[in-house]
Structure 1
Amino acid sequence: MARKYFGTDGIRGLTNTGAMTAEMAMKVGQAAGAYFLRGDHKHRVVIGKDTRLSGYMMESALVAGFTSVGMDVVTVGPMPTPAVAMLTRSMRADLGVMISASHNPYHDNGIKLFGPDGYKLSDEAEMSIEALLEEQPKLAEPDHIGRARRIEDARGRYIHFAKSAFPDHLRLDGLKIVVDCANGAAYNVAPSALWELGAEVIAIGIEPNGFNINKNCGSTHPEALQERVVAAGADIGIALDGDADRLIVVDEQGRIIDGDQLMALITTSWAKSGLLRGGGLVATVMSNLGLERYLQGEGLSLERTKVGDRYVLEAMRAKGFNIGGEQSGHLIMSDYATTGDGLVAALQVLSCLVEEEKPASELLSLFEPLPQILKNVRFASGAAPLDQAPVKRAIADGEARLNGSGRVLIRKSGTEPLIRVMAEGEDPALVEAVVDSICEAVKQAA
């Protein structure tokens, strides 16, 4: 059965169209509520959101949906996605909901669902909820309608949780840190946590207005962070995305450090201290071959999955790894969190910076990445360019041209109508030529 609403990371789309209407949000609340109404206890759902304008609308609709089928609702306001996962577990809730479109612009929104264990739902659970969306909801009797309340100390709870991932014997005294919160969900908690650990904090992207989330800031637009780090003479820069589940770092020279380098650092650090499980890490097919070769040189393995942090986590749980993530900055450390957590990952990097007493530019350059190019080709709704013979021929030709010295990866985005074309290899000119030829074939087919 094909998915109709759920993509690689929940339900996402342009607000007030398609699946991102108040009506659909209410139906999602009713369907997800019905799915998790198990047993005779009083059922509870935790709902958080990022800072985009449509969050108010989607939150109210979800509250209406959940309470109408008999679930109590706890709202926590703007909070990082990993905070919602953590609070779902700690409050013994049956379900957690994050209203966010992650790194997308303000006009998009999305709904991410977490089970009572704080983990994102399986494909099977999402398909079951999709099926319930097509059915008439079973509404609660008037005396069993749910209640809604807001808790005011959620930020403090999450800050305490995040700080617990930082070694007790260390402090951030003497470090000047620029943190870019993307005008998103971590605009309050991230600077506060860093300050409480002793850092001198320069915070940017902390003035959300409903429209500026991820706009020229955050992990997908780190240019402002790069400039501020260099201008302020900071030791390091930290960029989160709109819902703070991903991390990109900028060293003291203003150079961008992606998730592959961060995973290399944390994995080898944990291996040396005896904390690493699984003998390596889990990453997606997008991670650079340079990372794989570096880990092999350290006697560690790299387990690859398809794109999506949920698939990384599934492999981690199935095969006993405690570190995984994506090149884009979703880093999962299952000793601490059940999903990607940008702040917790940043604290792991900062602990290495303090202990090693090296500049970030040296600490975070563990391997030389192979030339890698990624381009996106937009296609019309309903088109299937990857099924076209000319596209298949272009892909086969590109793989033949690389001749074992690199690789080609073509995939359809799970959140947007895009075909992502990636290639990497020893020869940057050849890699670019391969990507361009495939992109041209996709454009013609689309």
Structure 2
Amino acid sequence: MGQLFGTDGIRGRANTYPMTCELAMKTGQAVGILTQRSSNKCVIIGRDTRISGQMLESALAAGIVSVGVDVMILGVIPTPGVAYLSSAIESCGVGIMISASHNPYYDNGIKIFQKGGIKLSDDQEANLEKMILGPPIDLPSQIGAIVAADDAQSRYTQFLVKKFDFQKKQRKLKLVIDAANGAASFCAPQIFTSDIFDVSFIHNQPNGTNINEECGSQHTKDLSDHVKKNNANLGLAFDGDADRLIAVDETGLQITGDTLLAILAKFAKQSGKLENNVVVSTVMSNVGFGNAMAQLEIKHEITGVGDRKVLERMKETGALIGGEDSGHMIFLDEQTTGDGALSALKLIEVMLETQRPLSELAKVMSVYPQVLINVEVDASKPDFMKVPMVADAIKEVESQLGKQGRVLVRYSGTQPLLRVMVEGPEEELTRQCCEKICEAIRRSL
């Protein structure tokens, strides 16, 4: 990672470096030049519902048109919508999504897709960063134009719904959908329509500051309560930019990304659609996921954290299915990035085809107790394994758990946090082990 780009674009607190208007404008200029070099004519920009989104949208657009490239404003749309339209709009050279994903409203970020809906490579990010942080760019005499794309949401939703024919199904599932007061708030009703589902929506009234606030994929208690109260078959929770999905079964139990990925991989194999018999997940996946893949005789590839890493390994191995426990799931024959709505539709397809409730489908894997704690650290992020107190604590826990668990400690790619994840044979022991490492970090870092 460079000075600006983390594991998923540029991210930080809005109106504070690097998420300032000045840097957004320079980013726009650099992206505009990148677009010109690819012989394309325009850049598309989408955003989630954060109050700072329009400010950054304006700054990015100003930078892009100042170097003679046109801008198409998509408005509020999920990140996968930007990825799709980056490929579907012929003149588009680059797609930009303004979002900080599952973070609080006061954060924001800039995610960049090249033509075809693929996130930038490390080399491309490094070249952009040089331009952004370098000397002022010589401006041409020709200025680009800014136009609004009024049909962006409908084009994205139609791209999704035409893949599934639920009209022929006699069973009408009862759904509760949590839009996280984010980008899914406006498009979800166009995807999960009342003529196909018995559906109700919660947390779909964004006001600029309530995105992800005690709702969405990070906070499913309210969704669980609504599912139980309404005797629903399924609860679906998206994050702020709707590229993640976490589900709630008919009993109100949260079903995380690993289990959803296992369900979808099993169904794909049984349907003869699991290309190369391989699935990709990350080092953060639960031990139980690997065990489930072994039992299903599916090759399991493990990669680093981030949907970009997942996509890279999928391409290397020929996999069509990959994802993260956080709810990012990629179906490479249909999308180029994590897509919460597409994942939800595929899950619904499995439930209707198998005529089984989610609670039964989830038995495909046994979830090991997992505790994840984020510890705030200095932004310089020193090598924690060179700090004796931290290194010793990690080694002690690993020795204590042996083959019955594992420890994973890593820095966040988007925030000044050290993430400590411990899996073990039972909840209390796992939590104690995780707290032991976290206390060592708090004392020494």
Same fold by TM (over 0.5)? yes
Is 1:285–1:307's contact at 8 Å kept on the other side of the alignment? yes
Q: Deviations over 1:116-165 (max 9, x none)?
A: 010111111111111111223434422x2111100111111011111133
Q: Do the aligned residues in 2 keep the contact of 1:49 with 1:185 (CA within 8 Å)? A: yes
Aligned length: 443
Aligned to 1:76: 74
Amino acid at match of 1:23: E
Structure 2 CA distance for aligned equivalents of residues 252 and 37 of structure 1: 51
- Match of residue 430 from structure 2: 431
> Is the contact made by 1:70 and 1:139 (CA closer than 8 Å) also made in structure 2?
no
Q: Could you list the runs of 5+ residues in structure 2 that have no partner in the other structure?
A: none
Does 1:131 find its partner at 2:130? yes
- Within 2, Cα distance between the matches of 1:173 and 1:326? 30
Matches within 5 A, 1:140-159: 140-142=139-141, 144-159=142-157
1:347 partner amino acid: L
Q: 1:428: Cα distance to partner?
A: 3.6
Partner of 2:43: 45
Please give the per-residue CA displacement for 1:27-79, whole angstroms capped at 9, x wherever unaligned. 1111122223225x452111000000000100000000110111110011000
Q: Which residue of 2 aligns with 1:334?
A: 332
TM-score of the two chains, using structure 1 as the length reference: 0.96
Unaligned runs of 5+ in 1: none
Given that residues 409 and 421 in structure 1 are in contact (C-alpha distance below 8 angstroms), is that contact kept between their aligned partners in structure 2? yes
Match of residue 206 from structure 2: 208
CA distance in 1 between partners of 2:56 and 2:156 (Å): 23
Structure 1 residue 235: deviation in Å? 0.9
Which residue is 2:85 aligned to?
87
- Structure 1 residue 320: Cα displacement: 0.3
**Could you tell me how far apart the structure 2 residues matched to 1:171 and 1:244 are?**
26
2:278–2:317 contact (8 Å) kept in structure 1 = no
SS at 2:110's partner residue?
strand
2:180, 2:204 within 8 Å by CA — same for their partners in 1? yes
Shift of 1:89: 0.5
How far the C-alpha of 1:288 sits from its partner, in A, is 0.7
- Match runs of 1:41-440 below 5 Å: 41=39, 43-92=41-90, 93-142=92-141, 144-167=142-165, 170-171=168-169, 173-195=171-193, 198-384=196-382, 386=384, 387-440=386-439
| Equivalent residues of 1:68, 1:139 under 8 A apart | no
Which stretch shows the higher mean deviation, 420-429 or 80-89? 420-429
Distance 1:356 1:433 in 2: 40
3-state SS of the aligned residue for 1:299? coil
SS of 2:364's partner is coil
Could you tell me whether the CA contact under 8 Å between 1:88 and 1:116 is conserved in 2?
Answer: yes
1:347-394 per-position Cα deviation (integer Å, ceiling 9, x unaligned) = 000001111111221122322111211111111233526131221121
Secondary structure in structure 2 of the residue aligned to 1:364: helix
Aligned to 1:11: 10
In 2, Cα distance between equivalents of 1:321 and 1:421: 29
Contact 2:171 2:352 in 1 (8 A): no
Preserved contact between residue 173 and residue 197 of structure 1 (Cα < 8 Å):
no
Of 363-372 and 415-424, more deviation after overlay is shown by 363-372
SS in 2 for 1:358: coil
C-alpha distance in structure 2 between counterparts of 1:132 and 1:334, whole Å:
31
Equivalent residues of 1:5, 1:19 under 8 A apart = yes
The alignment yields a C-alpha RMSD, in angstroms, of 1.6
Q: Partners in 1 of 2:2 and 2:19 — Cα distance?
A: 16
Contact 1:42-1:72 at 8 Å conserved across structures = no
Whether the 8 Å contact between 2:35 and 2:43 is mirrored in structure 1 is no
Give the 3-state SS of the residue equivalent to 1:155 in structure 2: helix
Query: Please, which moves more after superposition, 130-139 or 160-169?
Result: 160-169
Aligned partner of 1:292: which letter?
G
Structure 1 residue matching 2:193: 3-state secondary structure: helix
Instruction: Give the 3 Å change call, closer, same or farther, for CA 272–42 of structure 1 in structure 2.
Output: closer
Partner of 1:24: 23
Give the residue type in structure 1 aligned to 2:137: K
- Residues in 2 aligned to 1:24 and 1:405: alpha-carbon distance in whole angstroms: 47
The one-letter code sitting in structure 1 at the alignment partner of 2:286 is: N
TM-fit CA distance, 1:114: 0.2
Q: Which moved more, 1:383-392 or 1:338-347?
A: 383-392
In structure 1, give the amino acid aligned to 2:415. Answer: E
- Matching residue's letter, 1:407: R
Query: What displacement does 1:208 show?
Result: 0.7
Cα separation, 2, equivalents of 1:85 and 1:234: 32
SS class of match (2:37): coil
Instruction: Please tell me whether the aligned partners of residues 172 and 354 of structure 1 are also in contact (alpha carbons under 8 angstroms).
Output: no
Q: 1:247 Cα deviation (Å)?
A: 0.2
Distance 1:120 1:196, change over 3 A: farther
Whole-angstrom CA distance in 1 between matches of 2:253 and 2:15 = 39
SS at match of 2:184: coil
Q: Please state whether the residue corresponding to 1:283 is helix, strand or coil.
A: strand
**Segment drifting more, 274-283 vs 87-96:** 274-283
Give the drift of 1:170.
4.7
* Alpha-carbon distance in 2 for matches of 1:37, 1:215: 39
Contact 2:375 2:418 in 1 (8 A): yes
Distance 2:196 2:365 in 1: 30
Contact 1:30 1:68 in 2 (8 A): yes
The one-letter amino acid paired with 1:37 is Q
